[in-house]
């Protein structure tokens, strides 16, 4: 079965530049602050674009896991996904003069910690989630993604 293009987007968002360089993102009735990709400082008040990219992946995968566990009748109690991204050359992303290479994401690594589901059913549900995740499928085309599944008692 092939999806028909109705002309309507499957997702939409508005980005509004604020005085001072901040950004407000608006999706449906929700809005949230952000900053550009060059905001790795731990004291930053707003998530960086890179953190939001990881957040989109985490939201897609965790939401999908909850849905898949419900469908399969699995008793998922809690889940946490920790993700880290590494850039090919962070200095290029910062605009350091003379730096060469790419600011692209070199790899994404992480771990899924979940409780209430045995290892085999959790891994099966996780495989289904990754096979159906638009964020994962898109990012996996561009970079290496490695996420370990770690069931908890």
Closest CA to 86 of 50, 58, 59, 62: 50
Sign of CA dihedral 113, 119, 125, 127: positive
Burial of 65 (0-12, 13-18, 19+ CB in 10 A): buried
Contact criterion met (CB below 8 Å) for 120 and 82:
no
Give the DSSP H/E element, type plus range, for residue 64: helix 49-72
Q: Indicate if the pLDDT at residue 37 is higher than 70.
A: no
- For residue range 72-112, list pLDDT tens digits in order: 999 999 999 999 999 999 999 888 999 999 999 999 999 99
pTM as predicted:
0.88
3-state secondary structure of 26: strand
Q: Provide the pLDDT for residue 41.
A: 59
Strand pairing of 105-115 and 144-152?
parallel
Q: Indicate if the pLDDT at residue 1 is higher than 60.
A: no
Domains with residue ranges and CATH for the chain: 46-152 (3.30.300.20)
Alpha-carbon torsion, ordered 71, 74, 75, 77, to 10 deg: -80
Look over the chain and give the mean of its residue pLDDT values, rounded to a whole number. Answer: 91
């Amino acid at each position: 079965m092939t999806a028909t293009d109705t002309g309507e987007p499957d997702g939409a968002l508005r980005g509004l530049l604020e005085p001072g360089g901040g950004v407000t993102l608006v999706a449906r009735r929700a809005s949230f602050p952000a900053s550009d990709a060059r905001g790795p400082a731990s004291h930053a008040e707003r998530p960086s674009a890179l953190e939001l990219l990881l957040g989109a992946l985490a939201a897609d995968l965790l939401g999908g896991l909850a849905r898949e566990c419900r469908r399969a009748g699995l008793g998922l109690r809690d889940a946490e996904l920790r993700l880290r991204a590494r850039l090919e050359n962070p200095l290029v992303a910062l605009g350091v003069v003379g730096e060469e290479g790419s600011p692209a994401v070199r790899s994404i690594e992480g771990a899924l910690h979940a409780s209430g589901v045995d290892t085999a059913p959790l891994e099966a549900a996780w495989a289904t989630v990754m096979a159906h995740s638009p964020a994962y499928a898109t990012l996996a085309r561009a970079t290496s993604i490695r996420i370990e599944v770690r069931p908890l008692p």
